Chains A and B, each alone.
Chain A
């Protein structure tokens, strides 16, 4: 089983490398991370924290948008694209289960994302530490940021696969991927914000809203990183919502999402007739 998963993963990683996705994703992450680090170097003195802490806070916001986007861009083609190009039918006649095939692709795609996150966010962190100093806390915050960004990417990779299996065509899957990104990263927050404003500090805002926030993987990612370090929370000004939640809520959500989304993708893939 492992051998077959690795065979698919090796081929898939090669394809991603030749399609320039590895380079593009890494370059995109690095560019934005460096830009944010330099842009964020101004307010350090005022808040009394090192530059790396500020950089981690701004890169958290960056990763909330970019990690799901890149994951969906890689993931949407996984099943629908193969079906359309006619490569899926042949591969599935080999002694390879659909779960193994999906897992092989997942391993390769997650590898691509991990490289982009480690190099991109790492570069931003190193530059910040060299120019503005770093402490053990801020280094831990950076490590947490990279690890959680990979988890966030994993969630959206699997969601992309599910969209790919359900859409029926690569174009449809691409549209669904854009829709997923908009809903999870933009509209969900806007909706919650509207509800909070409407509620005006009532029961919803105090007890329901934080849980709804943790339920969305993108917000869980933000909460986990913010709640992890007081200083990051201070810089990002997002401490309020996290404090009413138990410490396990955001991590549990962000760890459960990739697993559940993968299971969903696996189920959806079963219905595909090549």
Chain B
């Protein structure tokens, strides 16, 4: 019972070196129950290393990890952790039901939990087919089913949507939402920025083994102070006048694009509305996660 009051995942000053090469440098963050956190970063930023450390598959060179208050790799920590590897693989010779039953027995769950889970991920019809005959999407669903076994406090999902069709992606995020509603802390390592933008509560960005951003999307936007893009469509033949009046950049024949800091948005809108008939349409684009990602990864050279 005391477990439930401890944070599902707590990481402090985590260090990992491979020989003299640092892979993680003083990483620290927490994930609260039910929180969905996107873990972003380039290949080689240390995301997979971080996940392996949380799973207890490798040992840190320094710092602490606590999974529901337990050391990673310990039996209670493993019981509390669900994991979906990027390239999820199973024994080809086993059927989906047999493989999931094995996992259920390892997790201390009753085998009767298996069929409902297969139904939940849409694999009931293939339960008694060998995994060797499964498609990539079906294997991923089976991987998700095993991550749903038991009452997990933390779920670590490594590129969960890679190679999935749009419908399967939608199903996957529905399952993730369900996990989060049940109080499971979900950590999603991903490159699919537009997906996680809409589907997570918090964004953590890693760069060269350190955390360079860790907050909600609106707060990261404010912190980065990236400009809002305002796109104006001019009335017939008025584009030049608009450009002269407001500055910015001409885009094709009839549009003007402005970049304005977030806190000057209203002032700009005032000026635009004062122009009256000259402006036919206004479109505002806040900085996307992709812009933020570029910014925090130090690749925004504009």
Do A and B assemble together?
yes
Q: Which residues of chain A have a CB within 8 Å of any CB of chain B? A: 3-4, 6-8, 10-11, 14-15, 18-19, 85-87, 89-96, 273-274
A4–B102 Cα distance when bound, in Å, is: 9
Min CB–CB distance B84 → chain A (angstroms): 8
* Contacts A18-B94, A90-B143, A94-B78 supplied; 7 other A-B pairs, CB < 8 Å: A3-B105, A7-B106, A18-B93, A87-B90, A89-B85, A90-B85, A92-B57
Q: Is the CB of B102 within 8 A of A8?
A: yes
- Which of A3, A85, A89, A95 has the largest number of chain B CB atoms within 10 A? A95
Min CB–CB distance B153 → chain A (angstroms): 13
Residues in B whose Cβ lies below 8 Å from that of A8: 102, 106
A202–B233 Cα distance when bound, in Å, is: 106
Given contacts A93-B83, A95-B107, contact A274 B90 (CB under 8 A): no
Question: What are the interface flags for B60-96 relative to A under an 8 Å C-beta threshold, 1 for contact and 0 otherwise?
Answer: 0000000000000001001101010101111101100
Residues in A whose Cβ lies below 8 Å from that of B58: 273
A19–B56 Cα distance when bound, in Å, is: 32
Residues in A whose Cβ lies below 8 Å from that of B85: 86, 89-90
Residues in A whose Cβ lies below 8 Å from that of B57: 89, 92-93, 273-274
Min CB–CB distance B242 → chain A (angstroms): 57
Residues in A whose Cβ lies below 8 Å from that of B105: 3-4, 6-7
Closest to B80 in A: A95
B55 interfacial contact with A, CB 8 Å: yes
Q: Is the CB of A95 within 8 A of B91?
A: no
Q: Is the CB of A95 within 8 A of B108?
A: yes
Closest to B104 in A: A7
A11–B83 Cα distance when bound, in Å, is: 20
Min CB–CB distance B77 → chain A (angstroms): 9
Q: Is the CB of A93 within 8 A of B81?
A: yes
Q: Is the CB of A11 within 8 A of B94?
A: yes
B190 interfacial contact with A, CB 8 Å: no
Residues in A whose Cβ lies below 8 Å from that of B214: none
B99 interfacial contact with A, CB 8 Å: yes
A6–B57 Cα distance when bound, in Å, is: 23
Min CB–CB distance B187 → chain A (angstroms): 14
Q: Is the CB of A95 within 8 A of B88?
A: no
Min CB–CB distance A121 → chain B (angstroms): 28
Q: Can you name 11 A-B residue pairings with CB atoms under 8 Å? A: A3-B105, A7-B105, A10-B102, A11-B98, A14-B94, A14-B98, A15-B94, A93-B56, A93-B83, A96-B106, A273-B52
B103 interfacial contact with A, CB 8 Å: yes
